[in-house]
A = this chain, B = another copy of it.
Amino acid sequence: MSRLALSTAKSISYRNFDRKFSLSSSLLKAYNNRNDLKNAKKVVVKLGSAVITREDQSGIALGRLASIVEQVSELQNSGKQVLMVTSGAVALGRQKVSRELLDKTLRESTQKTITKIEKSTLDKKACAATGQNGLMSLYSSLFSQYGVETAQVLVTKADFQSEHTLKHLQSTLNYLLEAKIVPILNTNDAIGYPPELTKDKEGALNINDNDSLAAKLAAMVESDLLLIMSDVNGVYNCPPSEPDSRLLENFCPSVDKNLVSFGSISNVGTGGMESKIAAAEFALENNCSVIICNGKQQNAILDSLNGKKIGTFFSNSVSSMATVENLASNARNGGRLLQTLSADKRSKIIRDYAQLLLANSRQIYEANTLDIELARKNNLSPVLLSRLSLNEKKLITLADGMQQIAANTNILGKVLKSTQLADELILKQVTVPIGVLLVIFESRPDSLPQIASLCIASGNSLLLKGGSEAFNTNKLLHKLVQDALEQFVPRETISLLNTREEINDLLQLDSKYIDLIIPRGSNQLVQNIQKNSKSIPVLGHAEGICHVFVDKDCDPDTVLKVVRDAKCDYPSACNAMETLLIHKDLVNTQLFESIINLFKSERVKLYAGPSLQKYVTDLPPAKKLNHEYSDLELTIEVADNLESAVDHINKFGSNHTESIITKNDDAAEYFLKNVDSACVFLNTSTRMADGYRFGLGAEVGISTGRLHARGPVGVEGLLTTKWLINGNAHTASDFSTGKKKFIHKVLN
């Protein structure tokens, strides 16, 4: 098992250096997905001079260089083959030469203040020769820390124009790679060639910088991945100075090339971004994946190979960012049409959709069965399986609900406020849709028609992302809503997203594309969305830490009935009680015993808060006072009085729903007024906090935020307003000069 036992050359022959490559090696394919990069066997790493040299361009950035050596060694030692194309010799040479010159000048000069030799006075070729030496010795000593051998290969443009030298070069490089030696390539800048030997070929990728050199070499050694590292972060859609500028994570040359506007970005680096993209394109055509990234970023090489989103990844698959931008923009346009439709037409879409669901029930069950079978194989829990499954009863209930939504579409353009500002000057505040919504929901596929109907009723366009376990069902349900939509508006008014990656891309967009995100699902989902949304508002609640406070002056039957329902009716719901606060005077009374026994009989695990621990010793202590169990578990804590109960709730609660059980009117009033939550109840279970129970119709979600909508949100939460003025040549100066006067007469 000698490390030098070389494998035979790949069967696909290497011919020459232009586009023919893509034909000759058509069996190999560049990776379409960053996750596959970990499988890359041969990697070419191109280091721009900005990566290797210090900011003042004199001397080596030793830390970065050593880190690159460390990463390359790790790849090499894990069995991969790495070829490096490096700049930096000139910079190192400049440092050495100028130090020498400085010493010389100081020796010869009486003027002792000279501390620097001007860069421009140094000969570049001489610096290159001087620096090459030092650079290679530095590489060699750094790599030796990891037991990695290196080889120096200097090439010129002319070497790539002769079949003879080319073949030699190829065989040398392949031998080195197979021998587990890292070839370190650079252009032989000390040598100048006559122009006829180095002139550009037409229509081919010419070697005019290290980017094109690296691309040619990557093709030559049949590399799987080329990393082009410089001091730019990657390819941007437009110059980074523009407000809409965004780093492109993926770049598919055939699609994205026209989207990128080269501008101020192209003055960075040797060949600029255009030449980098040309080099990347060439490598990609020769079946080598490419990442253009910032070599100053820590761990960029290993992270790239681990599939992390670093720089711009070149592949032949259309980038998902372009996809989601497109989806969002189509939704915006569709929504603008949808909101101009009459209420009747919007109702008709919803009714037709309900009809289509019933008419296609057989196909829906078939799609649903596919999902369920797969979910069973994946050992989905019975609870989730039952949520996933659709049946006739569910479908009929769903269609009935949709009819109710369809009956309530006359909600746009409602005049909320109308004021006569002055003669012939009328102001109206009218309801309008918010715009484009992104709704993310989990498991239950019947959510899709509900959410879609709510959006159609309110004139909002929609991007939907359902749980992957309902893939087939959602796909069909989505097709049917598009069928219903297209009689009046484009199908793309409601789009279905397929991957998590698309969601992440959407979260990076600004509110020009999407106006509101509504995540409906687990705490984790909601928190994740809230954390990652760059600038789009998120409506919802992450936590539901709901409290019930049992006052000293209370009806025992009410207490037992309400606390049982609050905890046990549906423990995983966000409006279920998580902490029971009991007035100090009740501890160890008959009622207290009954409460404990009730929960024991319901198999609720009880935990004692710090104050209760002073009275009761047989309950395990609660780990923290703001815990959401979402299960048959409960913290019980003692409150010294009403005020301290309210303080406890405001401190440890999540501002969702709290309830007091009392017969004392003053206590009730104090609680309702001072508890700072979206829902505050008297003698009622926290479980009543729900859009349907509140009579809001279908529920969009429950919000614990204080802006826009708070608590259970109905279809009204999907509306905003705009202000309209109908005037007759009125101007601000008419009023500021006193020519006209405001009357501000309320008309409605």
Please list the residues of chain A having a beta carbon within 8 angstroms of any beta carbon in chain B.
54, 59-71, 138, 141-142, 145-146, 296, 298, 336, 340, 413, 419, 421, 425, 427, 434-435, 511, 515-516, 530, 535, 537, 539, 555, 557-558, 561-562, 564-566, 569-570, 650, 668, 672-674, 676-685, 687-690, 693-695, 705-708, 710-712, 720-736, 742, 744
Contacts and interface: CB of A to CB of B under 8 A. Distances in A.
A680 B731 CA distance: 14
A438 to B, nearest CB: 14
9 contacts: A62-B70, A63-B64, A63-B70, A64-B67, A435-B706, A566-B731, A685-B730, A685-B731, A710-B722
B727 A688 contact: yes
Contact of A730 (B684, B727, B735): B684
B69 A516 contact: no
Contacts of A711: 721-723
A262 B705 CA distance: 31
Contacts of A66: 62-63, 65-67, 142
Contacts of A511: 705
B727 A684 contact: yes
B679 A728 contact: no
Given A67-B62, A555-B729, A682-B727, A427 B674 contact: no
A569 B705 CA distance: 39
Contacts of A435: 676, 706
A745 to B, nearest CB: 9
Nearest to A685: B731
Given A69-B63, A735-B693, A683 B723 contact: no
Given A434-B707, A725-B681, A695 B419 contact: yes
Contacts of A296: 298
Given A558-B728, A668-B726, 16 more contacts: A63-B70, A141-B141, A413-B673, A565-B732, A569-B731, A680-B725, A681-B725, A682-B724, A682-B726, A684-B727, A687-B733, A688-B725, A688-B727, A695-B742, A695-B744, A707-B707
B63 A693 contact: no
B141 A677 contact: no
A119 to B, nearest CB: 18
Contacts of A142: 62, 66
Nearest to A746: B695
B706 A336 contact: no
A3 to B, nearest CB: 14
A537 B425 contact: no
Contacts of A54: 70
Q: Which of A530, A570, A680, A712 has the most CB of B within 10 A?
A: A680
Contact of A684 (B564, B569, B708, B725): B725
Contact of A724 (B71, B680, B720, B724): B680
Contact of A707 (B65, B537, B728, B729): B537
Q: How many copies does the complex hold?
A: 2
Given A68-B63, A681-B727, A733 B676 contact: no
Nearest to A433: B706
Contacts of A561: 729, 731
A678 B722 contact: yes
Given A66-B65, A722-B711, A727-B681, A687 B732 contact: yes
B706 A710 contact: no
Nearest to A675: B722
Contacts of A60: 145
Contacts of A68: 63
Contacts of A340: 673-674
A69 B138 CA distance: 15
Contacts of A566: 731
Given A707-B708, A733-B565, A672 B67 contact: no
A63 B61 CA distance: 10
**5 tightest A-B CB contacts, nearest first:** A63-B67, A684-B727, A66-B66, A565-B731, A695-B744
B681 A724 contact: yes
Nearest to A659: B725
Contacts of A694: 419, 421, 427, 723
Contacts of A693: 421, 732, 735, 742
Given A537-B537, A680-B723, A684-B425, A557 B729 contact: yes
Nearest to A670: B340
A82 to B, nearest CB: 16
Nearest to A69: B62
Given A67-B62, A336-B676, A707-B707, A728 B683 contact: yes
A310 to B, nearest CB: 15
A414 B187 CA distance: 78
Contacts of A705: 511, 537
B682 A725 contact: yes
Contacts of A689: 723
A425 B693 CA distance: 11
A535 to B, nearest CB: 7
Contacts of A413: 673
Which of A145, A146, A674: most chain B CB closer than 10 A? Answer: A145
A145 B62 contact: yes
Contacts of A570: 732
Contacts of A64: 63, 67
A679 B677 CA distance: 33
A146 B67 CA distance: 18
A139 to B, nearest CB: 12
A168 to B, nearest CB: 34
B681 A707 contact: no
Nearest to A736: B569
Given A680-B724, A681-B724, A516 B707 contact: yes
A176 to B, nearest CB: 22
A557 B674 CA distance: 57
Contacts of A680: 722-725
Nearest to A141: B141
A736 B693 CA distance: 10
Nearest to A677: B722
Contacts of A557: 729
B724 A672 contact: yes
Interface centre among A65, A723, A725 (most CB of B within 10 A): A725
A293 to B, nearest CB: 15
Contacts of A744: 695
A674 B146 CA distance: 66
A695 B427 contact: yes
Q: Among the interface residues A678, A679, A707, which one has the most CB atoms of the partner chain B within 10 A?
A: A707
B679 A562 contact: no
A262 to B, nearest CB: 16
